[in-house]
Amino acid sequence: MSLKDEYDFDLLVNEGEELVIEELEKELSKAEYDKICKCQDCILDMATLALNNLKPAYRSSLTGRLYAAQYHEGSYIKEVETAVKTAIKKVSKNPSHD
């Protein structure tokens, strides 16, 4: 029997993913980004690029949720902001479509 059959891996949550999506939404609502492509491919590329440049922040339990709260402040938030801004610039300059 495989681990996926025995355990619920959907309980693994990357706290960074939630933060990147929130920051991406915040940034893309700014007027300076009105003219960039916001198709699904570009948005997912932006999120992926930002996440790949961040330290993972996984949690899986209530205790983990309390531990992960530290990622919602301080230097990790600054890293998220920087990663998202960089990803938006890179993807908007080189979208993966025509």
pLDDT in tens, 8-19: 888 888 889 999
Residues in the chain: 98
pLDDT of residue 71: 65
Query: Region 38-51: what's the mean pLDDT?
Result: 97
Q: Which pLDDT band, with edges at 50, 70 and 90, does 70 fall under?
A: low
Domains of the chain, by residue range, sit at: 35-98
For residues 55 and 15, give the distance between their C-alpha atoms in angstroms, rounded to a whole number.
10
Closest by alpha carbon to 83, among 57, 48, 37, 59? 48
Residue 25 has pLDDT above 90, yes or no: yes
Could you tell me the pTM of the whole model? Answer: 0.84
CB count within 10 Å of CB 91 equals: 22
Closest by alpha carbon to 86, among 54, 58, 43, 50? 50
* Residue 68 Cα distances to 13, 19, 63, 97, angstroms: 10, 11, 9, 36
The encoded tokens of residue 10 equal 């959907």
